[in-house]
Copies of this chain bind each other. A is one copy, B any other.
Amino acid sequence: MSINNVKAIVFDTFGTITDWRSSIAREAEIVARKKGIEGFDGEPFARAWRAGYRPGMAKVISGEREWTPIDVIHRERLEEILPEFGLDMLNEEERDHLNRAWHRINPWPDSVPGLIRLKKKFLIAPLSNGSLALLAGMAKRAGIPWDFVFSSDMHKAYKRDPHVYRNAVALLGMEPGEVMMGAAHNDDLEAAREQGLRTAYINRPTEYGVDQKKDFEATSDWDIIVDSVEGVAGAMGV
């Protein structure tokens, strides 16, 4: 099997297709300004919020906690950090609106142009830990031209649980080698490759800002190694 057999390309979204850090920071800064908080910096707020993401999912992946939607995991972490950032005056409606900032994060500049090119030849979809409402809402708002959406609630599992990759391949009715995973995270590609998928590494070394500890470069011989979604399109010949 080579990448010539690929028929569908599925993508991680948070960090790979979209720049969650600047989007979340900006939304938080708007909220803080409305509340008259001086000197609020959205950057550490966004990073602190994100820091609860992997631990929140880990409990579900390990089976310690039953299936829990991503909006709930985001909200629980938000509750933890609001006091720390002086935002504990937010009422329920404001908290809910801020929590849904994850539905409104913006793509990196190369993502939509690259996906438009890839869509001409391949089925393209997110293979994300986001919910259907989050991913479909984000795509509509940002003009991301997915052919369809794989959401974590469809699989009732989070990456890097192997079930996510296997279920995606099964739903597509394809061989694993006919599906390519595109991600900015080496461990996501590792998990995909273990299930037989093809792999495209898209380097996003600024994703986490000063919190970034890894994924500054490809750490394995992925099928494609590029620094943009347009790069994936180029490598796939479209």
Contact = CB atoms under 8 A, between A and B. Distances in A.
Interface string A53-90: 00000000000000001010000000000000000000
Contacts of A173: 69, 71, 131-133
Nearest to A121: B140
A153 interface: yes
A172 B133 CA distance: 5
Interface string A105-144: 0000000000000010001000000011101110110000
A148 interface: yes
A151 B171 CA distance: 9
8 contacts: A123-B136, A123-B140, A131-B173, A132-B148, A132-B172, A140-B147, A146-B148, A154-B171
A238 interface: no
A174 interface: yes
A149 interface: yes
Interface in A158-210: 170-174
A153 B149 CA distance: 14
Contacts of A137: 123
Interface in A207-236: none
Q: State the majority secondary structure of interface residues on A.
A: helix
Residue with the greatest number of chain B CB neighbours at <10 A, chosen from A71, A140, A148 = A148
B132 A171 contact: yes
Nearest to A168: B132
Given A132-B172, A171-B132, A174-B133, A147 B154 contact: no
A172 B146 CA distance: 17
Nearest to A151: B171
Given A139-B147, A146-B147, A146-B148, 17 more contacts: A71-B173, A119-B140, A123-B136, A123-B140, A131-B173, A132-B148, A132-B172, A132-B173, A133-B172, A133-B173, A133-B174, A136-B148, A148-B148, A148-B149, A151-B171, A153-B170, A154-B171
